[in-house]
Amino acid sequence: MKSAPGSGAGTLYIVATPIGNLDDLSPRAASVLAGVAVIAAEDTRHSGRLLQHLGVQKPLLALHDHNERDRAGQVLARLEAGEDVALVSDAGTPLISDPGYVLVRQARERGLRVSPVPGPCALIAGLCAAGLPTDRFLYAGYLPAKRGARRAELELLVTERATLVFYESPHRILETVAEIRDVMGAERELVLGRELTKTFETFYAGSAGVVCDTLEQDPNGARGEFVVMVAGAPPDEGPGDAGEVNTDQLLSLLLAELPVKKVARMVSELTGRPKNELYQRALALKPDERKT
Ligand code: SAM
């Protein structure tokens, strides 16, 4: 478990741990945790229980949002002295709405080896079972706690074409879902993944209006942990990646000056949408140019 061959430095392992079901901890994660010199944990008591379950006894070092800058130095010193270190968070993959970014960044800046031990992650668990498009998604973390800022953030995302993924705490879930309905529209498809991998795992899926009503009526609706997933804006509704300009407007504008093929290529580069799709659309907008 050493870093770059011959460097003498240790490796920082970023170890994913279960988001509910303890059986989801991978055999490799267990063996890395058993093999390192020290484990940096977001909450040492919480991770201590997991280690006890695994029968692993290791020194634990608290590394959380409030001490990460100070603690990173200690971890780096241990790595440079040749010790392997594992970083874990309370649940799932460290750095995904969890501490660790400062440490990983600094370790990389010093040329130390950082190695992922992948595993559970609530957003991936939710997304892979939600039935929403997964070819492009935007993970936006937690929405702001204050109502105005939260609404402003949702308004910024209303024309985004990628599937949107958020984390939310149980005490704000009803409010957040109602705001998604109000800002994105009651017809926008919404999926909530609640208590994933746990006994009361539940998916709520449908239009934002229906999901909102269902959740309000469910006595357990605001209990447990949630991943919130929203279908991206339909293609003809928003400007997508082209900023404030609608794709059809952009195509029409360029078609006035350039041949269809060239226009499709340029708009594809600007928006990331498939060239062939844009070529067909451009032809539809300018049918007399079929041979360009
Ligand atoms: N690092 C974690 C990961 O890889 O998913 C996430 C940590 S973040 C502080 C905790 C949030 O993740 C919760 O508020 C909830 O939104 C989501 N989450 C964690 N476990 C979950 C579960 N079992 N079911 C649904 N959402 C979960």
Q: Residue 52's beta-bridge partner residues?
A: none
Is residue 51 located within the same domain as residue 113?
Answer: yes
Atom of ligand 1 nearest to the CA of 168: 16
Q: Does ligand 1 lie within 6 Å of residue 213's CB atom?
A: no
Closest among 135, 134, 70, 63 to 99, alpha carbons compared:
63
Is residue 16 located within the same domain as residue 27?
Answer: yes
Is residue 75 located within the same domain as residue 144?
Answer: no
- Containing structural domain, residue 79: 5-120
Is residue 100 located within the same domain as residue 71?
Answer: yes
Q: Is the pLDDT of residue 238 over 60?
A: no
Is residue 23 located within the same domain as residue 77?
Answer: yes
Is residue 292 a part of any domain in this protein?
A: no
Q: Does ligand 1 lie within 6 Å of residue 167's CB atom?
A: yes
Instruction: Provide the CB-side half-sphere exposure for 88 (13 A, CA).
Output: 33
Q: Is the pLDDT of residue 1 over 70?
A: no
Is residue 35 a part of any domain in this protein?
A: yes
Atom of ligand 1 nearest to the CA of 16: 4
Is this model's pTM higher than 0.85 or not?
no
Q: Does ligand 1 lie within 6 Å of residue 17's CB atom?
A: no
Is residue 290 a part of any domain in this protein?
A: no
The encoded tokens of residue 219 equal 């006595």
Is residue 130 located within the same domain as residue 227?
Answer: yes
Q: Report pLDDT digits (tens) over 186-215.
A: 999 999 999 999 999 999 999 999 999 999
Q: Is the pLDDT of residue 244 over 60?
A: no
Q: End of a domain among 85, 120, 155?
A: 120
Q: Residue 115's beta-bridge partner residues?
A: 13
